[in-house]
Homo-oligomer: A and B are copies of this chain.
Amino acid sequence: MTDLNNISKIKQILEVALLTSANPLSLDDLQKLFSEKIERSTLRMLLDELKTEWQDRTMELVLVASGYRFKAREEYASYLMRLSPEKVAKYSRAVMEVLAIVAYRQPVTRGEIEEIRGVALNPNAIRQLQERDWIDVIGQKDVPGRPSLYATTKHFLNDFNLRSLSELPDIESFLQNEIPLNV
């Protein structure tokens, strides 16, 4: 292994080890690459050089808690994510029902939603819809506890390509003959 005297060969070995390793490599790990002992200070210097050599390239050499690794520069992350898109979850039935109630019965309080559904509401359901910017709080009701009033947003209308709520499927006519309406 006399060619190891060649400092650039050591640097190449460091580079190839870091590019092929799934996990960060510590200085101890990197020392294991060589049968002869390479000082940690030498390794640090070479890693520094490597970092500089890559500074205008696609990957950057970074130091994290457990050691060094090459990581794709942030600007590429959005492209790389397309290769393995995260699974899109479905909303739970509870969330869909809350959305339907807010859409058709707005403005409504949480208590009213619970009353209509007949079950206590997981606060998550409302939070998910607020995060999506489909519903928001438009005031408080003047009853004990001053509960928030929820309504759908403009963003909700946009997402569903509606000009106004009156374009929602007409449930009233759908149910006209079915429900005795006593208001």
Q: A residues within 8 Å of B by Cβ?
A: 12-13, 15-17, 19-22, 25, 29, 32-35, 58-59, 70, 72-73, 76, 79-80, 82-83
**Copies of this chain, count:** 2
Among residues of B, the one whose C-beta sits closest to the C-beta of A18 is B58
For A82, what are the chain B residues with a Cβ–Cβ distance below 8 Å?
32-35
Say whether A72 contacts B16, CB under 8 Å.
yes
Say whether A58 contacts B12, CB under 8 Å.
yes
Among residues of B, the one whose C-beta sits closest to the C-beta of A12 is B58
Say whether B19 contacts A70, CB under 8 Å.
yes
Among residues of B, the one whose C-beta sits closest to the C-beta of A76 is B16
Out of B34, B70, B83, name the residue touching A32 (CB < 8 Å): B83
For A58, what are the chain B residues with a Cβ–Cβ distance below 8 Å?
12, 15-16, 19
Query: How distant is A172 from chain B, measured CB to nearest CB, in Å?
Result: 35
How many angstroms between the C-alpha atoms of A35 and B16 in the bound complex? Answer: 31
How many angstroms between the C-alpha atoms of A19 and B79 in the bound complex? Answer: 13
For A73, what are the chain B residues with a Cβ–Cβ distance below 8 Å?
16
Query: How distant is A11 from chain B, measured CB to nearest CB, in Å?
Result: 9
Say whether B79 contacts A13, CB under 8 Å.
yes
Out of B17, B34, B70, B83, name the residue touching A33 (CB < 8 Å): B83
Among residues of B, the one whose C-beta sits closest to the C-beta of A85 is B32
For A70, what are the chain B residues with a Cβ–Cβ distance below 8 Å?
19
